């Protein structure tokens, strides 16, 4: 069965009887004048359809004894394709999504009105409409799903409108074999990109050179896309967690923090590594690096079903606090938030910071990051070591175990390249 069909069936299982779920890919966002940001379908919609095209919609109908699924995409438009690239035909949309019933978006209103009508009809007597009420989903430039919900409540007073966001989030939190394999492949390409980076690292380079080098590697070898904007931050620049500028020249004694990842079939890798540009850690860098590395390894050992992300965060804070006090890097316990000011974990998937109900205990099939860090302004050192792990029935499997993070391995690699 098509992966997207399996997902739709799981969602249908969660829906009330006599209900309709209506989802939108969304519309392009204007950047300025007539230029738009690159379009990405809303990820909940994509998760259920595989369709990456604006103005597409999905209807799931759960009747008493029969379910119905309809996909709507704009009619193929040759002129539009000549200007802005590939447009889907109905056949292509059918093939990708596994939905047999593909219609023009112009047909949405008539099918929807029929399904939502108060009188019994071919779909039964529908009493619930599910929408994804995330505020950012725009179904037209200026209309959100929340505005649609209000209009529907007025027009169809017999309907209860419910938010489906959390149900789809719960499905996305448990990864299938296909999803885990896709993340593994994204990590593999990322690992190759990092290996290539190490070969090319030299004192005096600019941060952008290394970022471009990584990105070019992925594009040229795998025709793959980035999962998120590449972060290459040398020295004190690493104190900014999502450092965006990449325009500093890397000095001879700098550590360089890389936070980067490619995506495969839409699934993200999210890896951080911190390497000395000279190939050798100095004493204070070594102390701080080892504290973070040991925390990363202890967290991976600790992670298992039943724990929450907050449990992991408390573990990381306690670990780093005692290391910082032991190393004489701080005196007061509560100062740890000055040197460790993010959380150590998030879910990973179609989004790099994947949708999640963060209070839910971990379950087998969750894929999360493990990313403790320490950041000191006084000596211009920022270290983060980030791996991607799969929660299993007994603990966790480190999916990025092959990407070097031990000091000996890093220093040996730099020596080997000369
Ligand atoms: N790359 C963003 C993060 O690690 O959360
Ligand atoms: Mn990251
Ligand atoms: Mn991360």
Q: How far is the CA of 157 from the centre of ligand 3 (A)?
A: 44
Residue 325: the pLDDT is: 96
Q: How far is the CA of 58 from the centre of ligand 1 (A)?
A: 31
In this predicted structure, what is the pLDDT of residue 217?
93
Q: Which residues line ligand 1 (CB under 6 A)?
A: 228, 259, 270, 346, 352, 371, 386
Instruction: Output the CA 270–ligand 3 centroid distance in Å.
Output: 5
Which atom of ligand 1 is nearest to 260's Cα?
1
Q: Which CATH number fits domain 3-172: 3.40.50.300, 2.40.10.120, 3.40.50.1980, 3.40.350.10?
A: 3.40.350.10
Instruction: List the domain boundaries for the chain.
Output: 3-172, 174-416
Nearest atom of ligand 1 to the alpha carbon of 231: 1
HSE of 356 in the Cβ direction (CA atoms, 13 Å)?
Answer: 25
Of all protein residues, the one whose alpha carbon is nearest to atom 4 of ligand 1 is: 270
Q: Which of 272, 273, 292 to mutate to test the pocket of ligand 1 (most atoms within 8 A of CB)?
A: 272
Q: How far is the CA of 418 from the centre of ligand 1 (A)?
A: 31
Rounded CA separation 294/302 (Å): 12
- Tell whether pTM > 0.75: yes
What is the mean pLDDT of each successive set of 10 residues along the chain, which is 418 residues long? 96 96 94 91 97 97 92 96 94 98 96 88 89 83 84 90 97 98 97 95 97 94 90 98 96 97 97 97 98 98 98 98 96 92 98 97 98 97 98 98 98 90
What CATH architecture is 174-416? Alpha-Beta Complex (3.90)
Q: Of ligand 1's atoms, which has the minimum distance to the CA of residue 384? A: 4
Nearest CA to ligand 1 atom 3: 270
């Amino acid at each position: 069965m098509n992966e997207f069909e399996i997902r739709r069936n799981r969602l249908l299982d969660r829906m009330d009887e006599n209900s309709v779920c209506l989802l939108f890919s969304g519309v392009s966002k204007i950047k300025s004048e007539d230029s738009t940001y690159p379009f990405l379908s809303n990820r909940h919609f994509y998760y259920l359809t595989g369709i990456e095209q604006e103005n597409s919609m999905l209807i799931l109908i759960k009747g008493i004894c029969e379910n119905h699924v309809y996909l709507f995409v704009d009619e193929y438009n040759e002129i539009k394709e000549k200007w802005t690239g590939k447009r889907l035909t109905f056949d292509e949309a059918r093939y990708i999504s596994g939905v047999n019933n593909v219609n023009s978006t112009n047909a949405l209103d008539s099918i929807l009105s029929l399904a939502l009508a108060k009188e019994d009809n071919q779909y039964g007597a529908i009493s619930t409409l599910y929408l994804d009420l995330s505020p950012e989903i725009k179904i037209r430039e200026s209309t959100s799903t929340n505005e649609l919900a209000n209009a529907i409540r007025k027009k169809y007073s017999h309907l209860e409108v419910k938010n489906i966001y959390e149900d789809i989030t719960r499905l996305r939190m448990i990864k299938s074999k296909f999803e885990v394999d896709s993340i593994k492949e994204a990590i593999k390409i990322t690992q190759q990109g990092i290996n290539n980076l190490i070969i090319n690292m030299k004192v005096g380079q600019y941060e952008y050179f290394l970022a471009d080098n990584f990105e070019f590697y992925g594009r040229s070898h795998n025709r793959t896309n980035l999962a998120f904007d590449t972060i290459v931050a040398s020295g004190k620049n690493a104190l900014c967690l999502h450092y965006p500028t990449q325009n500093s020249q890397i000095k001879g004694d700098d550590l360089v923090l890389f936070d980067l990842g490619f995506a495969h079939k839409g699934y993200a890798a999210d890896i951080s590594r911190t390497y000395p540009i000279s190939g050798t850690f100095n004493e204070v860098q070594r102390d701080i690096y080892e504290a973070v590395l040991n925390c990363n390894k202890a967290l991976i050992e600790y992670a298992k079903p039943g724990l929450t992300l907050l449990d992991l965060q408390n573990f990381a804070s306690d670990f780093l606090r005692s290391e910082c006090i032991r190393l004489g890097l701080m005196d007061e316990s509560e100062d740890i938030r000055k040197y460790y000011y993010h959380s150590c974990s998030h879910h990973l998937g179609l989004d790099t910071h994947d949708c999640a109900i963060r209070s839910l205990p971990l379950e087998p099939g969750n894929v999360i990051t493990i990313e403790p860090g320490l950041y000191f302004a006084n000596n211009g050192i920022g270290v983060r070591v980030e791996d991607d792990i799969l929660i299993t029935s007994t603990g966790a499997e480190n999916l990025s175990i092959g990407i070097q993070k031990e000091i000996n391995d890093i220093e040996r690699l730099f020596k080997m390249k000369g």
